[in-house]
Structure 1
Amino acid sequence: MHHKRLLTGAACCIFPLFTQAAATTSLACPTSVPATSISLAAVPSGWTPYIDGPLYLSAAAPIDGAPERRGQLVPSGERKRKGKTTLSYRLDGRYPDGKWLQCSYGVHGEVTLSRRLDDSVSVCEFTYRKGSKAGQNEIDIDCR
């Protein structure tokens, strides 16, 4: 009897570790950067800036370190299915400056918003669908 109780006690302590390791982090990039948050400074004399509308989400990816490092990573896999493209990234190895999520806005990614990911994240998948605005993509992000 005592042996069985000991096994049950060990099992109760191990299983939470497994469920925690397999946990998925659902992240979402903001769909746009509002025009009211965009400003231009040091505009040449005689010119008046005007920002017509928001910048829409165009891309997302994990990066190695803070945005100013420009640590773009190459996807480890790509799947296309029913109008969707899924890019996979393996995040094994050392990331001394952290793993970050970068969201890009504008047709050519002129503006980015970034946030640090949990160090335990080892894989991320980004599923793209065309958005309703020019250059816009709807992106589902699954990191675990």
Structure 2
Amino acid sequence: MAMMFKLNIQQCTVAFMVAFAALTAPASAAPGLVLECPQFIEQKSVQISNVPPGWTTFVRAPLYLHGAAPMSGPPEELGELAEFSQKREKGGWIYTYQLDAPFPAGKWLACTYGESDQVTLGRKLNDNVRVCSFRYRKGRHVGENDIAIACK
């Protein structure tokens, strides 16, 4: 047996307004910006120069992603942020940084490679970014971390 629904004009108007609001909500109401560090730096990209006479170089393996964090300014300025919150979760950690303070040199994302963060790739972030969370999980290779980054 089919069910019949009866709606009055007021109910239809409310339903229309709710649907219209959902369809025209600003993009800022959508989930935040998802960023991604390259998972590794290929060994052929690693260049070693000024080696002592008589020595040759060989890079055996790629440098895997080890860390990621926002910075104040480009990586060479070493503007690492000291304030963040951390939360343990099954299989990893989440680090959250509040980025609503002034950043005269800009907000940057730093992705670090090698077990001791020997190499950094940096990328400027939009000045409107206010918070970033970094979800860390162990990667497949020694010293590698899988890092999911979400910013708003």
Q: Normalised by the shorter chain, which TM-score bucket?
A: 0.7 to 0.9
Say if 2:28 is the partner of 1:20: yes
- Provide the alpha-carbon RMSD of the alignment: 1.8
TM-score (norm 2): 0.81
8 Å contact from structure 1 (residues 74, 89) kept in 2: no
8 Å contact from structure 1 (residues 75, 87) kept in 2: no
Unaligned stretches of 5+ residues in structure 1: 1-7
The runs of 4+ residues in structure 1 deviating greater than 2 Å are 18-23
* Deviation, structure 1 residue 19: 3.5
TM-score (norm 1): 0.85
* Deviation, structure 1 residue 76: 2.1
Structure 1 window deviating more from structure 2 (70-79 vs 59-68): it is 70-79
Give aligned-pair identity as a percent. 42
Structure 1 window deviating more from structure 2 (73-82 vs 27-36): it is 73-82
Count of residue correspondences:
132
Say if 2:94 is the partner of 1:82: no
Unaligned stretches of 5+ residues in structure 2: 1-16
Alignment partners' CA distance in 2, 1:78 and 1:20 = 25
Q: Flag the structure with larger Rg.
A: 2
Alignment partners' CA distance in 2, 1:21 and 1:76 = 24
* Match in the other structure for 2:105: 97
Q: Secondary structure at the match of 2:95?
A: strand
Say if 2:42 is the partner of 1:38: no
